[in-house]
Structure 1
Amino acid sequence: MLEQIVEPLLIWYEKNKRSLPWRDESTPYHVWISEIMLQQTRVEAVKGYYARFIEALPEIKDLAECPEERLLKLWEGLGYYNRVKNMQKAAREVMEFYDGKLPADYEKLLSLSGIGSYTAGAVASIAYGISKPAVDGNVLRVITRITENPSDILKQSTKREMEKNLEKIMPVHAPGAFNQSLMELGATVCVPNGMAKCECCPVAEFCMARAHDTVLEYPKKAAKKPRKIEEKTVLIIQNGQEFAIQKRPESGLLAGLYELPNRAGYLTREEAIRCVEDMKLMPVYIKEAGSSKHIFSHVEWHMKGYLIKVASTEEKQVGELIFADKKNSKKKYPIPSAFSAYRKYIEEDF
């Protein structure tokens, strides 16, 4: 059955593919950067981040040598910061072992830090014409609907089985176009979270889910465990025209990034004042700064904030706190989007 979808998909893709910057110039480096950015992020949202990143770091050598804080700042807003840290590790491996060029070899690509079978398959097929599949969420959804495959797509065994089956039908003359046609079909036609646009599908006649009216039943996923809820109080501490930030630990969630000072639990106004006093600062004004929520993959932060002005100090660092002006906080320090509801207080023209 799957052999029958190859030519219709390739013809449809050639006529309907979107013009995307990483497609228009599909160098190995560009494909790699874009595929890492596109994981769990919409195409339209990625375009701006991609352009900024490539302008700042046009070559693998630039990525390998970029100071970490600047690198994290360039990635700011995309989340999953370990991805860009692993990209830099991989860039350094490429500089050391492959003369600064991503290897034209699937297994060698797979051996690089942060590159799994999907990214290795994408780079190998799109940039080098190597017949390897690239199975992401879009491809899993498309193929499980076409074949009415009841396997749990969250299991690695399901993904591996699909990779094996797709590798058998990869067109030798156009493996990159075929992989991208499946991704494009999943992104624009065989969409998630609602009914697929079967009337626009070039392979609808081969789709078992469409034939049996079971499209919305696929793909199958085991129920996820509920995310852990963590309550936090965010302290926006203002010292004249400067605001307090602090660096997060080098391991764990949002490792190495900067954040607004915060404490576990919901503090009362009095508790927030005492907390700031414990930082060796003198609060002179406090007001509520609203509530916010940020969702990570396994945890949710439920936050409330206080804007607290303190008696002026000329010190740029008090304990773990760093006082930064609005210009520096925006341009120099990578502050994750988890604090976006409160960044308007500390960033110029946010």
Structure 2
Amino acid sequence: MAYSFSQQLLDWYYKNKRDLPWRQTDSPYEIWVSEIMLQQTRVETVIPYYERFLAAFPTVYDLADANQQQVLKLWEGLGYYSRGRNLHQAAKMVVDHFEGSIPSDYNTITELKGIGPYTAAAVLSIAFDKKHAVVDGNVIRVLTRYYGIEEDIRSGKTKKKIQTFADDLIPFDKPGDFNQAVMELGATVCTPKNPLCNQCPLSSDCVAYQAVKTETIPYKSPAKKIPHHQIAVGLIVNQQNELLIALRPNDAMLGGLWEFPGGKKESGESLTQTVQRELEEELGVKVDVFNKFKELKHAYSHFKITLHAYWCVITTGNPKPISGQELRWVSLSEIDQHPFPKANKTLIEELHQMDNSDLTRFVNS
């Protein structure tokens, strides 16, 4: 069955694979960059980021020599920013400890920051022809349907079973193509909803297809309810018509990105009280809070937020980076040079739409 599965799949892949930029290279560095970007991110979204990133950092030496702000600015909007920070740190490790060569064995490559079992298997198989089977969401869907696995795919036991099947199926010859073929099938044919079974090279032996269970396999137990937080931030303008921004610590979520200072609303306080408390805790200043500038919603992987931005004026104290790494006053013409999370970036886009020759007049208007 293993030979039949792999051969049919590879025959299909060579005829139907998408023309993607990371499939035009045998560079371990370029393949590694693509695999990091593709984690939890759609191919269509990744392509322009991948091309811009490699144009800026064509070699691992270029990436290692860059500063983190340059890396995060190019990553801006791609999300899961720890991927970019880890990739940057790992590039430094490759240059410092491996003479610029991506390690080609499993134990060594997993020592690099941000490389876990999936990424290691992908890079080693695609770049070095090593027999390591990848298991991502696409692979899980293909194999659970093919073998008729109806257990909960959130279960560690089920994941281990799927990994065993993948390890048994992957051939010694062209393991990288095989891994890409399974993922390609899951992405383009064996889709979550309305799979194109009539176009699948494996349908004649697929248990879920034969049993008409493609809509119920794979089974995933309900996720926990996603929390929703109210976040309030302050837009502070100085006499030079500059806005105050704060750099998030590297060990925090969205670390290394800039933001407008503020934070999560606590029980029993108003949004304006949230701004006052957060700015005193973060910056050591007291502020008067005036008109709301904007309210917007944003979803992260494990929670959602509504972001409320208020114009503020400092009444007592000078801002200091008590809880962050750095504070900076920037004009609107300079602000786009800094990497921001998506929600803050949306606020900046709104600020650019205003007649912003004198931001101070909007504070009390």
TM-score range (shorter-chain normalised) is 0.7 to 0.9
1:319 aligns with 2:324: no
Mapped to 1, the partners of 2:180 and 2:345 lie a distance apart of 33
Mapped to 2, the partners of 1:56 and 1:348 lie a distance apart of 29
Q: Contact 2:135–2:163 at 8 Å: present in 1 too?
A: yes
Secondary structure of the corresponding residue to residue 336 of structure 2:
helix
Q: Which residue of 1 aligns with 2:361?
A: none
Q: Which residue of 2 aligns with 1:344?
A: 349
**1:107-149, Cα deviation, whole Å (9 max, x unpaired):** 3222322111111111111111111111111111111111111
Secondary structure of the corresponding residue to residue 344 of structure 1:
helix
Residue type matched to 2:320 in 1? Answer: G
Q: Which residue of 2 aligns with 1:125?
A: 125
Q: Contact 1:243–1:346 at 8 Å: present in 2 too?
A: no
Mapped to 1, the partners of 2:157 and 2:351 lie a distance apart of 47
**1:28-75, Cα deviation, whole Å (9 max, x unpaired):** 111111111111111111111111111111111222222112222121
Mapped to 2, the partners of 1:222 and 1:275 lie a distance apart of 38
Mapped to 2, the partners of 1:26 and 1:115 lie a distance apart of 19
For residues 1-350 of structure 1, the aligned pairs below 5 Å read: 1-192=1-192, 194-239=193-238, 241-265=241-265, 267=270, 279=285, 286-306=290-310, 308=311, 318-320=319-321, 321-331=327-337, 333-346=338-351
Mapped to 2, the partners of 1:261 and 1:226 lie a distance apart of 28
Mapped to 2, the partners of 1:17 and 1:252 lie a distance apart of 39
Mapped to 1, the partners of 2:275 and 2:131 lie a distance apart of 59
Q: Contact 1:61–1:100 at 8 Å: present in 2 too?
A: yes
Q: Contact 2:29–2:102 at 8 Å: present in 1 too?
A: yes
Shift of residue 276 of structure 1?
A: 7.5
Shift of residue 217 of structure 1?
A: 0.9
Mapped to 1, the partners of 2:116 and 2:178 lie a distance apart of 19
Residue type matched to 1:136 in 2? Answer: D
Identical aligned residues as a percent: 38
Distance change in 2, residues 1:348/1:241 (3 Å): farther
Q: Contact 1:133–1:163 at 8 Å: present in 2 too?
A: yes
Mapped to 2, the partners of 1:275 and 1:139 lie a distance apart of 44
TM-score, normalised with respect to structure 2: 0.84
Q: Contact 2:232–2:274 at 8 Å: present in 1 too?
A: no
Shift of residue 325 of structure 1?
A: 1.6
Mapped to 2, the partners of 1:220 and 1:130 lie a distance apart of 31
Residue type matched to 1:36 in 2? Answer: I
- Tell which deviates more after alignment, 124-133 or 228-237: 228-237
Q: How many pairs are equivalent?
A: 339
Q: Contact 2:106–2:120 at 8 Å: present in 1 too?
A: yes
Aligned alpha-carbon RMSD (Å):
2.6
Mapped to 1, the partners of 2:229 and 2:167 lie a distance apart of 43
Mapped to 1, the partners of 2:223 and 2:181 lie a distance apart of 29
**1:311-332, Cα deviation, whole Å (9 max, x unpaired):** 9xxxxx843442212232112x
List 4+ stretches of structure 1 deviating above 6 A. 273-278
Shift of residue 280 of structure 1?
A: 5.8
Q: Contact 1:232–1:262 at 8 Å: present in 2 too?
A: yes
Structure 2 portions without partners, runs of 5+: 322-326, 355-365
Residue type matched to 2:170 in 1? Answer: M
Distance change in 2, residues 1:69/1:101 (3 Å): same
Q: Contact 1:141–1:219 at 8 Å: present in 2 too?
A: yes
Distance change in 2, residues 1:217/1:323 (3 Å): same
Distance change in 2, residues 1:298/1:207 (3 Å): same
Q: Contact 1:329–1:347 at 8 Å: present in 2 too?
A: no
Shift of residue 273 of structure 1?
A: 8.0
Q: Contact 2:276–2:286 at 8 Å: present in 1 too?
A: no
Distance change in 2, residues 1:167/1:217 (3 Å): same
- Tell which deviates more after alignment, 76-85 or 241-250: 241-250
Distance change in 2, residues 1:325/1:146 (3 Å): same
